Amino acid sequence: MTTADALPPGLVTALRQARYIVALTGAGVSAESGIPTFRDAQTGLWARYNPEDLATPEAFRRNPRLVWEWYAWRRQLVSAAAPNPGHLALARLERLAPRFTLITQNVDGLHQRAGSTSVIELHGNLLRVRCSAEGAVYTTWPDVADPPPPCPACGAPLRPDVVWFGELLPPEALERAWRAATTCDLFLSIGTSGLVEPAASLPRVAYASGATVAVINLDVTDAVEERLFYLHARSGELLPALVSAAFPDADAVTR
Ligand code: NAD
């Protein structure tokens, strides 16, 4: 496990010298805020459901109420949660790096709440809903006895504004993410298992385009190769230490 006092010096230097840093985040970044990853055991009421059977268009067609209620439960968890030191370190890195792009697969909005201002949301955001027929997006909706509530314009059921398994990513977000991965000089892949495409390809694309790549999660074993760092670490512990090590002079003013 990489700890705060054993950071690979090559990665600290790469972070300090990078002209363009891109970070891709996944569910692991929010785990320390108490938001379960899909692979964590689900708790309580929802333990018997497999998230991959709920986060699909078929599940919503089969049982819209069940899917709506699962998202309502997740929305509640997110509202009660707070950004953790990992989210805050990424917001700080945005302010310190010459150029920085944050790409997230998370749908919880915690990066924005931590202060990140420019976030590419590849999988949408569960704090928004949209019309399942016409796509109009809403940030408020009525509470109804038999959810999901109807679209105020056409009456079709509202659904969470997220990308479900088997659906296409928003093309503009994907295009921006791809461009960032192919033009950065340092790419950080944080808290993502790299199993969900096309996000999973972004670190490979960045590496193939010449960037240094660091993979930070609890699945990998610590290793350093040419332009490649694997760090088995919790993002809430590692990221603040990494940013402070790379930008020690900025510590006093921007923490
Ligand atoms: P995943 O569940 O497949 O993998 C989580 C990864 O995070 C694993 O590699 C694990 O080792 C790592 N991890 C766990 N705790 C960590 C920590 N404290 N620090 C660093 N790493 C940690 O997640 P995924 O790759 O994001 O893909 C699953 C899909 O589920 C995504 O599409 C995402 O949109 C969705 N999802 C989002 C949220 C959220 O918005 N918070 C939560 C669950 C699932």
Question: pLDDT digit string (tens) for 78-127?
Answer: 999 999 999 999 999 999 999 999 999 999 999 999 999 989 999 999 99
Between CA 71 and CA 77 the distance in angstroms is 10
Residues lining ligand 1, CB < 6 A? Answer: 26-28, 30-32, 35, 37-39, 105-108, 123, 191-193, 195-196, 217-219, 234-236
In eight-state DSSP terms, residue 152 is: T
**Is 41's pLDDT higher than 70?**
no
Task: Give the pLDDT confidence of 10-22 residue by residue, as tens digits.
Answer: 999 999 999 999 9
pLDDT of residue 143: 93
Taking Cα atoms as reference points, which of 204, 213, 223, 195 lies closest to residue 38? 195
CA 33, 35, 41, 45 torsion: positive or negative?
positive
Tell which one of 126, 192, 197, 234 to mutate to probe ligand 1, the residue whose CB is within 8 A of the most ligand atoms: 192
Q: Is the pLDDT of residue 251 over 70?
A: no
Q: Which atom of ligand 1 is nearest to the CA of 220?
A: 11
101, amino acid identity: T
More confident residue, 93 or 196: 93
Give the list of residues 6+ apart from residue 73 with CB closer than 8 angstroms, or none. Answer: 45, 46
Q: What torsion, rounded to 10 degrees, do the Cα atoms 255, 97, 78, 56 define?
A: -170
CATH tag, 39-80+127-162: 3.30.1600.10
For residue 51, what pLDDT is reported?
84
119-121 and 100-104 strand pairing: parallel
Atom of ligand 1 nearest to the CA of 234: 19
What is the DSSP pairing of strand 21-25 with strand 100-104? parallel
CATH 2.60.120.620 fits 1-35+83-123+168-255, yes or no: no
If one compares 204 and 2, the residue with the highest pLDDT of the two is: 204
**% of the chain at pLDDT higher than 90:** 85
- C-alpha 113/C-alpha 90 separation (Å) is 12
**Catalytic residue among 87, 111, 123, 232, which?**
123
Q: Whose CA is nearest to atom 18 of ligand 1?
A: 234
173-176 contacts at long range (C-beta below 8 A, 24 or more positions apart) = 173/120, 173/121, 173/122, 174/122, 174/198, 176/101, 176/120
Question: 43: helix, coil or strand?
Answer: coil
pLDDT of residue 55: 92
User: In sequence order, which residues have a C-beta less than 8 Å from that of residue 219 and are 6 or more positions away?
Assistant: 193, 232
Alpha-carbon span 188 to 26, nearest angstrom: 11
C-alpha 193 to ligand 1 mean position (Å):
7
CA 37 to ligand 1 centroid distance, Å: 5
Alpha-carbon distance values, 147 to 142, 162, 204 (Å): 10, 17, 41
Per residue in 199-211, pLDDT tens? 999 999 999 999 9
Phi, then psi, of 231 in degrees rounded to 5? -125, 115
pLDDT reported for residue 6: 87
- pLDDT in the model for residue 116: 98
DSSP classification of residue 157 = B
Q: What's the 194 CA to ligand 1 centre distance in angstroms?
A: 9
In this structure, the residue with its CA closest to atom 3 of ligand 1 is: 193
Return the closest-CA partner of residue 209 out of 185, 189, 229, 175: 185
- Work out the widest C-alpha separation in the chain, in whole angstroms: 58
Q: How confident is the model at residue 42 (pLDDT cuts 50, 70, 90)?
A: low
Domain limits, the chain: 1-35+83-123+168-255, 39-80+127-162
pLDDT in tens, 143-192: 999 999 999 999 999 999 999 999 999 999 999 999 999 999 999 999 99
Is the pLDDT confidence value at 255 over 60? Answer: no
Check pLDDT > 70 for residue 231: yes
pLDDT at 44: 59
| Known catalytic residue at 123 | yes
